[in-house]
Amino acid sequence: MTNSSASTPVAQAHGRFIRGSVSKVRRVLDQIRGRSYRDALIMLEFMPYRSTGPITKVLRSAVANAEHNLGLDPASLVISQATADMGPSMKRYRPRAQGRAFAIKKQTCHINIAVTAQSDS
């Protein structure tokens, strides 16, 4: 798939139905968006958030797609797009006092990451 603005090749990867809230995933994606692949991996390794695990998997998948399908060098890749959208919520119930049921929503999210070759400007 190519980007329409500058016709540079773009490789994407999607992680769907990832357990975790979309707001907690977005705070990590905001930190790595626009960074190089190497810098992003280092940042994700040392961040203290649980959502860095699934994000790392999706990022590695996007880079593998770029390397295998487009023949791009992983050292020259930059994260051009990183988004998280809300997925369906699993509804569960916890019993509470006097026979009441307390609703619990277990949230999921969809992670989309696109990488492109770094422009030499």
Q: What residue ranges do the domains of the chain occupy?
A: 11-117
**Do 87 and 108 touch, CB atoms closer than 8 A?**
yes
Q: How many helices (H) and strands (E) does the chain have?
A: 3, 5
Alpha-carbon distance values, 37 to 66, 78, 80, 95 (Å) = 12, 6, 10, 46
Instruction: Give the model's pLDDT for residue 114.
Output: 96
Task: Give pLDDT, residue 54.
Answer: 96
Residue 8, pLDDT score: 86
Over its length of 121 residues, how does the chain's per-residue pLDDT go in tens digits?
545 455 789 999 999 999 999 999 999 999 999 999 999 999 999 999 999 999 999 999 999 999 999 999 999 999 999 999 999 999 999 999 999 999 999 999 999 999 999 876 5
In CATH, the architecture of 11-117 is: Alpha-Beta Complex (3.90)
CA distance 99 to 109: 32
